Every structure is written in C-alpha cells, then in structure tokens.
Structure 1
C-alpha cells in the first residue's frame, strides 16, 4: 500500500534518513517524484534510482494470494484470530470474538454503552494470551473526550479481581493503553497515518476509534453542495488505512458510530435528490415516516466487516445485535452495564433471550420490541426495531 513507510520496504537506514530530510517518508512520497528528482535527493545514479523504484513499487503493490495461502498464513500466526469479548454467547456467535485483521463497528444511540465496550476491550487486549487477551498495547483514538482512566481501572479490577490483585498489574495494564485525543478530521487522519510506526514500536495489538462519526458529522454538512463528495472521499481514505493496518499486522480494529434518522420508502425518492444513500435529519412533524439507522451512509457501511448494534429496550434492558458479519447470522442478546463492564442477561421473555437466523424482523415480535418502541427515548429514537433491515442493507 502507498502509505507504507519506506523503512519497511528494505531500504538502508542511511538512505531513509536522507529521504526523510526531504519529507519523503512513505512509498507514496517516493513514487510521486520523477527519476531525476530522486537522483538529486538520494544522491544516486540513474540505474540505482531505477532499481529503487522497482523495489518500492513491488513493496506497495497489491499481491496475488491464494485461499490456501491465506489459510496457511493464518494457521501459522502466533496470535489468536479473535479477541474474546468474554461475553460467552456473543463470542460463540462470532466464532471467537472480535476478529483480527478486520474492522468491527459498534453503533447505537448515546448512552447505550459503546464507550464502555471500547474500554472493556482495551483491558482485554492487554491480558495474557492464556486469559484470552492479545498481550499487547492499545492505540485508543478518542474524538469525544469520553475515555475515563478511572473506569478502565474499575473494569479491570471488577472483571478480573484475581489477576489484578496488585497495584503493579493495574499500572502495567493502564500504561499499555495509549490515548490520543484528536478532535478534527485532519488530526484523526494524521494519527491513523502514523499508527504503523506506533504498532511496531509499542507492540499495539488493538486499535480503537471512539467515534468515527463525531468529527465527520461536525465538519461535513451534507446539505451543502460538494460536502457529501468530500466526506465520502475522507471516509474511504480512513477506511482504506484502517483495513491496511488490520490486515498487515493481523490486529482487530474497533470503531464506534452514531445513529441518524432514515427516511421511509415513501420519501426515498425525495431524499435522493438531496443526499442519495446517506444519513439525513428529518424536520419536525415527519417522525411517522422515519426510523433510525447507522450514520455515515453506504460508503462507510460497506467498509466495515462486522457491525454490532447496541440499543435500548427500556430503562433497564438493552440489546446487542449482530447486524452484519461474514461469520455469524443475525443474532440478538440482552445485556446490562455493571462495574465490570458489559454483562449478558438471561431474562424471562417468551421466545428466548436470543435469536439466531436470517430473519432480521423476527426479534421485533419475539422480544416484544414493537410494544416498547414508544418508550425508548421518544425525543431521539424512533422505532429502532422497525428499521433493522436498513441497518444491514
């Protein structure tokens, strides 16, 4: 990939330092220059520059790989293919937990536990492999200033009291979580571009961005001409970088997203004139013709590999849905949030506490969701269950 650092393509340290003084750091920077320009900055002959161009081009160009080769490579990896969530039923449905080498999105309304989930996964990633962890560091990009170090320690102590029984272990875990507060799109993108070196130097085994939508929706008003195109371009760039990091280093990437209002079919043609296949906000009085869906539109929706939806059922009950996954069917569970983070619940509800299968509308009646819809944050959320298909289309 063009964003790969020149230090990782086999060039000598002296040459990398010389190129770095001219702000030539990545393969993209190198390949944008002409042979004559490279001869000048590198101090090499034309044949030498020609050979360097060949090496750098081959290093960043996509390579063919067979399915057997991929299977063999994954089998030989020392790290586990999944990061366990320690929620046994969810892990079982996902075939092990949050998949390494892919993007997992956590979406839902405010206050449903997205940041709690991210903090909990930060603790789990630092655990030894024999406890289901990755025994590595965490790169946590916080765009909403929602991260709490106190909450991280509380989850660690409450979820694993026997392991975190000393101050030293708590200090070690908290020192492995590297927090970056980035409040603009440019800052987030620059941080993602620098993560490759962070992953290598700090032994990062999990990347978290909480949240992707926060900065994007602040800076790009899709009602203004040209903004939708620029926003989709930014999201495509961000997703490509994150997928590269996930696949190159075989690590999980967890992202949080927000919700937005989604128009009904009756208004779809009208909406497409303004912002096709994207998130829109309805004016007052149109609530009967809408439901809510994950923000950022189709461009982003197709970029993530797995989508988990956290949502309210009532003041005490919440539900986690596997809405998109290459491994798991549509599945729903009940959960609550305690001192130790997210905890799955077993509730006396007709039809069972979870549903496995392809029918995304089933959980509405099996769980009595249609009866609860009017009680779920009526000022913000409109019948979450009624648009479950929109969430995964």
Structure 2
C-alpha cells in the first residue's frame, strides 16, 4: 500500500505537482520525509506538513474489516468465468483482489482462456461482466485480436451482433507487448496509472515464465537468486495492484520437469521425473489460486483446481471451440487422489496418452493459437 500514488491518497493535484519536482510521487516517498523537509518542498507551515503526513499515513494503513462484512459483500468478491461448474467450485469465480495462475503445457488453451476472460470483463454487469477495460501484458506474442473477436461473436452472439459493440469491446482491451524481464517490471510499476486512466477491472500477464526462463539460466551461479528477486518484485507489485484496486489479476505459467526422488514417489518407486508448474515452490506460494490445464486424451483437456482458499481439489473436462473454453459433462467433477501439493502436482502432457499424437493432428484445434 505504501507504493500507492499520492493522488490516490487524497493529496491535491497542486501538492502532487510540487512534490513531483523533488521526485516524491508515492506515499512511501512522502512518508520517508520529515515535516521540515515537507515544509521546504511544498511551502507549508509545520502544522500543515504534520497534517499532510498524518493524512497520507492513515490512507495507506490497512483497514480492519469483519468476516460478516465480507460475507455480505460476497457478490462483489468474484469475477465469473462464465463456466458454471468452475464458478460453482470456486464459490463464484475468480477471487477479486488476488492472483490467479493458469499453468499447463503448450496447446492447452492458456491464452485462449485469457482472451475469453478479456471479453467477459468488458461485458455489462447485468451479463456477469465487470463493465471495465482490460490491461493485457503479452510476453509470448500469443495474443490474437482476430481470435478475441471470434470468441466474442460466438460466445455472446446476440450481444455482439453489431459491429459497434465489437469495436467497443476490442477498444477496451489494452495490449502491451513486453519481451524482457526489465520491460515487464517497468510495465508493472506503471500499471497503477494505466489502471486508473483506462478504468481497468482486469489485469492479465501472459506469461510470467516466458521472459524469466529466457534470461535466467539457473544452472549458472547466482542466477537462481537473481531470478527469485525478480519474481518477488513482480509478485509484490501484482498483489498490491490486485488488493489496492480490488480486481482479479490473472497470469499464465509454463511447465518444467521435476525429479521425484525415491521415497517421495508412490509405493517406494524408483526416482522418476514428473512434469509440474515452472518457477518453483516459492513462486507457488505467491499465487492465491492455481488452475492447471492439461491433456485428458486426444480430444479433451482438463482444468484442475490445484490450489484455492475455498475450492476442493477437483478436475473438469473441457474442449476448445470457436466460443472459447467449453466444459464437458455439465457440473460433474471428481476430486483427484494423487499429489495435493500444488507446487509438485503432476501435469499430463501429450506423450502420456498417445506417443503417436503429433502437432499436425491438432492443427485444426483452436488451442494451438
């Protein structure tokens, strides 16, 4: 909260401009000053400087609430995914004010889900949307405006029957392509202003792992430490934005191979490799909700709720159609028996169910976009 811009802490625009000349822009910057320094910078008397510091301090102090108040505000706590069975398990949808991670192998529809959520966020509240804009940070050049429009047309054909509404929806999805770790961090640090100026209600980072894994070879000395520092900065900023604006933040993650040592494998099996979420156990604790998308068979994929503060450990089958993610089997789901640790949950990839499955056999599948 200390990173909040002064204008959002009730400081007048005139005082903000005066302080900005001295490189004081956030609440943290101001509260690190003495009353005498504030007097000199903005031309206030001693009592006015004290009052300013006290006011800003009070604005960023964590507010006390009760479980009863949260319960009464239940409808405002969630962002619907438009997938009834997923929303039911998550007690309403994606939890606002927190980070939701979607991880899984390439081709399972992570970016498809992000584009679908982008469409949903722009919808009127009467249709389950947020009636807000979207900040979409693309690090893999996976975003497709054509696919965004196709999802909108096919998922909500009546609402998006007019070209005007389609153009309005597309104009509310603000895309930033950042291809290095420093670019991503710089963008996140500026995101507060972007959210305010664009009236954004959803932030998407697709993906958090892409640039990190390219730039940090953790086999080299010191790189693991530096990578974790970078990830910590990104997680801290995203958590602040989610909490400060009470909006859902969605990010995608990649997969990696993890060696499961003897004794940790079921029934005392020999050492074996499993595919699991990338970026390690520390990063796993930074996200509130983790959804795993994986292969079920040649035709279907699965959403696994691997980590959630309120949902059971569950799996649902889905396919990817012109309208985006479509669940199979209605509200049916079952809990998984193996691997309750979200940081080491095994993830199914193509070769596990059909060694002959090739990329060309899925060429017509929208999941490859």
User: Are 2:15 and 1:19 aligned?
Assistant: no
Q: How far, CA to CA, are the matches of 2:357 and 2:43 in structure 1? A: 67
Q: Secondary structure at the match of 2:305?
A: strand
Deviation at 1:34, TM superposition (A): 4.7
Q: How far, CA to CA, are the matches of 1:131 and 1:117 in structure 2? A: 18
Is the Cα–Cα contact under 8 Å of residues 322 and 330 in structure 1 kept in the other structure? yes
Q: How far, CA to CA, are the matches of 1:227 and 1:371 in structure 2? A: 31
User: Are 2:300 and 1:317 aligned?
Assistant: yes
Is the Cα–Cα contact under 8 Å of residues 297 and 353 in structure 2 kept in the other structure? no
Q: Secondary structure at the match of 1:375?
A: coil
CA 1:118/1:32 → structure 2, altered by over 3 Å: closer, same or farther? same
Deviation at 1:63, TM superposition (A): 3.9
What TM-score does the superposition give when structure 1 sets the normalisation length? Answer: 0.80
Is the Cα–Cα contact under 8 Å of residues 235 and 299 in structure 1 kept in the other structure? no
Is the Cα–Cα contact under 8 Å of residues 313 and 372 in structure 1 kept in the other structure? no
Q: How far, CA to CA, are the matches of 1:331 and 1:294 in structure 2? A: 17
Q: Secondary structure at the match of 1:266?
A: coil
How do residues 369-384 of structure 1 correspond to structure 2 at under 5 angstroms? 373=352, 375=354
Is the Cα–Cα contact under 8 Å of residues 330 and 360 in structure 1 kept in the other structure? no
Structure having greater relative contact order (Cα 8 Å, sep ≥ 6): 2
The alignment of Structure 1 onto Structure 2 pairs a total of residues equal to: 347
Deviations 1:343-365 (A, max 9, x none): 11239xxxx963136x3469xxx
Q: How far, CA to CA, are the matches of 1:304 and 1:99 in structure 2? A: 11
Q: CA RMSD in A?
A: 2.9
Deviation at 1:288, TM superposition (A): 6.7
Q: How far, CA to CA, are the matches of 1:45 and 1:67 in structure 2? A: 42
Deviations 1:44-69 (A, max 9, x none): 34444333333333333334433334
What TM-score does the superposition give when structure 2 sets the normalisation length? Answer: 0.85
Deviation at 1:145, TM superposition (A): 1.1
Deviation at 1:91, TM superposition (A): 1.6
User: Are 2:37 and 1:9 aligned?
Assistant: no
Is the Cα–Cα contact under 8 Å of residues 19 and 42 in structure 2 kept in the other structure? yes
Partner of 1:330: 313
How do residues 1-393 of structure 1 correspond to structure 2 at under 5 angstroms? 1-72=1-72, 74=73, 80-266=76-262, 289-346=272-329, 354-356=333-335, 359-360=337-338, 373=352, 375=354
Is the Cα–Cα contact under 8 Å of residues 292 and 303 in structure 2 kept in the other structure? yes
Q: How far, CA to CA, are the matches of 2:44 and 2:338 in structure 1? A: 62
Deviations 1:314-365 (A, max 9, x none): 3322111111111211111111111111111239xxxx963136x3469xxx
